[in-house]
Amino acid sequence: MASVKVLPNNPFQENTYILYDETCECAIIDPGMDTSAEQNAVVNFVKDNNLKPVLLLNTHCHIDHVLGNKFIFDMFGIKPQFNKGELPVLEAVVGYAPQYGFRYEPSPIPDVFLGETGTVSFGNTTLSLIYAPGHSPAHLCFYDDEANYLIGGDVLFRGSIGRTDLPGGDFKQLIDNIEQKLLLLPDSCVVYPGHGPETTIGFEKQHNPFLT
């Protein structure tokens, strides 16, 4: 069964996730590393646990979630995978990265784009795709049915939701996707968000002020 390692990165404190199982294959999701120390933390965790990265996934392509895409490609030879609807979001990063003071090395373009449904796999682990735009135009979440956790990106946070005031954002669409897709997951499902602490579906049903 897959384990989850979280590494907060960059000034946005974006959560980079490494998922790995007993085969030692792993998936890296939303690599947001900005500094050499943050890059080293990812590489050292992979090496110390004898892991083999085989998947690079982006829930969406805002700058804080893709800063490390090129580094991961250079280190491990894997290109990112995300929904094609995020491509304009990725392409826009080059233009605005300097405003945030980032030295952004442009991400490789995927060879494989992910659909709105389906699965991706590494080792003995299968992740189901949940298409949940609203924060960004083609945002994906990744659900591990066996281990009952969700890599949720910037859709649902502990006590909050993703912002919808960026290009391609849509408040009603985000709420609809949370209520019609994420809240159907088991109450015990652990949600690992793009920022901040983990939560559960059940906790958010009870306590999230944005959800009825």
Q: Tell me the one-letter amino acid at 124.
A: N
pLDDT tens track for 167-192: 999 999 999 999 999 999 999 999 99
Q: Is the pTM of this model over 0.95?
A: yes
4: exposed, middle or buried (Cβ count in 10 Å: 0-12, 13-18, 19+): middle
Q: Does the structure show a pLDDT above 80 at 87?
A: yes
212 is a domain residue? no
186 is a domain residue? yes
In this prediction, residue 207 has a pLDDT band, given cuts at 50, 70 and 90, of: very high
pLDDT tens track for 116-147: 999 999 999 999 999 999 999 999 999 999 99
26 is a domain residue? yes
- pLDDT of 212: 77
74 is a domain residue? yes
At a CB cut-off of 8 Å and minimum separation 6, what does 34 contact?
9, 10, 11, 67, 68, 102
pLDDT tens track for 192-201: 999 999 999 9
182 is a domain residue? yes
34 is a domain residue? yes
Domain that holds residue 166: 3-207
140 is a domain residue? yes
As for how many domains the chain has, the answer is: 1
Could you please report the per-residue DSSP string of 104-130? PPPPPPPSS-B-SS-EEEETTEEEEEE
* CB-based contact 17:151 (threshold 8 Å): yes
CATH number where 147 lies: 3.60.15.10
145 is a domain residue? yes
Q: Does the structure show a pLDDT above 90 at 55?
A: yes
